Amino acid sequence: MDPCTTDTKTLLKQLTAQYYDDLNHAHERGQKVVWTNGLFPQEFFEAMDIQVAYPENLAATLGAKKGVMPYLEKCEALGYSSDLCSYTRIGLGYIESFDSDILNLPRPDMICNCTNICGLCVKWFECTAKRLDVPYILIDTPYQTEYGPTENDVDYIVSQFQELIRQLELLCGRPFNYKKFRQVLAISRRVAKSWKRATDYVQHSPSPLDGFNLFNYMFLAVVARGKSSTADFYDRLSEEMEEYLREHKSQFKGEQKHRIMWEGIACWPHLAQNYKCLKANDMIVVGGMYPVEWCVDYDQDDVRSLARAYAARPPIGSLTRQTDIRARIMEETRCDGALYHVNRSCKILTFLQAGLRRGIYERNHKPFATFDGDQTDPTTFSPAQFETRVQALRENMEAAKAERGGP
């Protein structure tokens, strides 16, 4: 298959299969396997030729493919509260048997976690490491109470990198490969730029890129941010979007009457219903946090820049910073409104959402609607509520446009 001409949908499938094949044969090849969260500085693992598995991705995939209930039930039977984040409940249930018919992960040799997405992962991975009896390493990126990360935060993170390197050397039984590390930094920066360039196609109106597809395209930006093949893939996506622009085509097959921002994690078990409902209401998703969140770019190829980039991830940003980022996204992607996922699982995103909605509305006066859901627990979602809220959003966007005298 020629990556220069193959369509991105096919290519993504191929690269995903390759990733899981590499991961699942890692131990046979004598490679170590680390479990981590999506925004951990993967550069260190790549430099040491460690295969990396992402339990969050496992949960999302099982959620999308209707395979979570046995693990949610198992987790509850272990005595964990059903109030906990569903990603973590699935993960804790899964490690009791490693037996999904849909997707499996190899057992970890080490677990690593970075606090730049959520604090619950600290506890989730603590429980996982204890249950599987493997070492557990933390990179703590402090919460950005004032706005963004401080130089003190960066110093602290760099000091933790030193400990991480020592632990990886112990795990692999060989010195850290600084030469490869520098190469990986350069590749990862290239991936960030390629991802950014590809996802920026949602800024066109009409958009050739269906923003909802970023839920799929982001996969490689999560699991393979340090690989050239990922940069090649996103370059290919940009080329494809150029072709679409030339031919006045779009991945979105409905009418692009309303451009919206989707706020929050996807509602994985209900993706198809969500998409159909939005399409039926002539809404295309063009705005979202994923293009920003997974664009882990640094100024230069040095460890302080790396630490600063990982410290600055939006989920741990102050309310003002998070409001700034989303208001800018809505402006750049020319959104007419926003749909907020009040995600039962994700406290760090949901608990700030009231302030966020208020702050963004005060700036752009764009209509918005909320719906209750959960990233992977299928029971915490009502299709009827979703439809009603989307319809209300559409009516409000139409009214706002009529008021402005637009179409």
Partner 1 sequence: MSVSKVEILREMEYAVTHIRERVLDEKARGHKVIGCLPILIPEELVHASGAFPVGIWGAERLPIVRAAEYYPPYACSVVQSITELAIAGAYDGLDGVLISCLCDTLKCVTQSFPLTCPSVKPIFVKHPQNHRLEGAVTYFIRELEGVRAQLETLTGRQITEEALCQSIEIYNENRKEMIAFARLLAEKPGLLTCRERHTVIKARYFMRKEEHTRLMRELNGMLRASTAPSFEGIKVYVSGVMLEPSHILDVMDELGYTIVGDELAHESRQFNHLVPEALSQLERLARQVQTYEGEAFLYDPRKTRGERVARAAKEAGADAVLFALMKFCDTDEYDLPWVRCAAQEADLPFLHLELEQTMQSAEPLRTRLQAFAEQLTHTC
Distance CA 76, CA 73 (A): 5
CB neighbourhood size of 12 (10 A): 19
Q: Which of residues 284-343 bind partner 1 (CB under 8 A)?
A: 316, 318-319, 342
CB neighbourhood size of 365 (10 A): 8
Distance CA 257, CA 206 (A): 9
Q: Which of residues 84-113 bind partner 1 (CB under 8 A)?
A: 84-85, 88
Q: Which of residues 190-229 bind partner 1 (CB under 8 A)?
A: none
Closer Cβ to partner 1, 84 or 292, answer by number: 84
Interface with partner 1, residue 347, by CB under 8 A: yes
**Contact status, residue 182 vs residue 190, Cβ threshold 8 Å:** no
- Residue 55: closest CA among 1, 6, 127, 4: 127
| Candidate residues 3, 14, 80, 176; the one interacting with partner 1 per rule CB under 8 A | 80
CB neighbourhood size of 57 (10 A): 19
Stretch that binds partner 1, among 30-38, 100-108, 347-355, 387-395 (CB under 8 A): 347-355
Closer Cβ to partner 1, 77 or 402, answer by number: 77
The nearest distance, CB 121 to partner 1, in angstroms, is: 10
Q: Which of residues 40-69 bind partner 1 (CB under 8 A)?
A: none
Interface with partner 1, residue 115, by CB under 8 A: yes
The nearest distance, CB 368 to partner 1, in angstroms, is: 15
Interface with partner 1, residue 36, by CB under 8 A: no
Closer Cβ to partner 1, 198 or 316, answer by number: 316
**Phi/psi-derived region of residue 143, left when phi > 0, alpha when psi is between -120 and 50, beta in every other case:** beta
Cis peptide before 206 (omega within 30 of 0): yes
Q: What is the DSSP code (8-state) at residue 108? A: P
Interface with partner 1, residue 156, by CB under 8 A: yes
Residue 131 tokens read as: 């249950």
Q: Which of residues 351-370 bind partner 1 (CB under 8 A)?
A: 351-352, 354-355
Distance CA 8, CA 76 (A): 39
| Candidate residues 3, 142, 206, 254; the one interacting with partner 1 per rule CB under 8 A | 142
Distance CA 299, CA 308 (A): 9
CA angle 339, 115, 360 (to 5 degrees): 25
Q: Which helix (H) or strand (E) holds 371?
A: strand 368-373
Stretch that binds partner 1, among 138-146, 189-197, 275-283, 389-397 (CB under 8 A): 138-146
Residues that bind partner 1 (CB under 8 A): 78-81, 83-85, 88, 115, 118-120, 122-124, 126-127, 129-130, 135-140, 142-143, 145-146, 152-153, 155-156, 158-160, 162-163, 316, 318-319, 342, 344, 347-348, 350-352, 354-355
